Amino acid sequence: MTLPQSPHAQTPIRVEISRDLEDIVPTFLENRGKDLQTLHVAVVSQDFSTLQTLGHRMKGDGGGYGFDAISTIGARLETAAKQQDLPVSKHLIAELEDFLNRVTVLYR
């Protein structure tokens, strides 16, 4: 049985990034994918310290690479983890995963 996809599931998110970052952006995004794995484990074990640390890191790093959405999600995740809000943390991890699956980088 195939689950219905959200209307946004296939809509790419286009992010314009400076050509100066072209060599490092793929690694940055790959590392956020690795963070997702860590976040999934942390949420299952209710490791709010790890959730808070990774949220804080994403908050600081995302904008520097041109990914304001990652900074926003990171800031919200950091706050949710401080409040030990598991449902919100799970939602934000899903939001990050959706963003990473849909993002398309355009270098200018």
Please report which confidence band the pLDDT of residue 10 belongs to, taking 50, 70 and 90 as the band edges.
confident
What is the CA 101 to chain-centroid distance, rounded?
10
Place of tokens 């809509």: 11
E-only strand ranges, 6-58 = 13-17
Q: What is the pLDDT of residues 21-80, one digit of tens each?
A: 999 999 999 999 999 999 999 999 999 999 999 999 999 999 999 999 999 999 999 999
Q: What is the rounded distance in angstroms from the CA atom of residue 92 to the CA atom of residue 97? A: 9
Domain 21-107 falls under CATH 1.20.120.160: yes
The yes-or-no verdict on residue 1 having pLDDT over 70 is no
Contact 38, 54 (CB under 8 A): yes
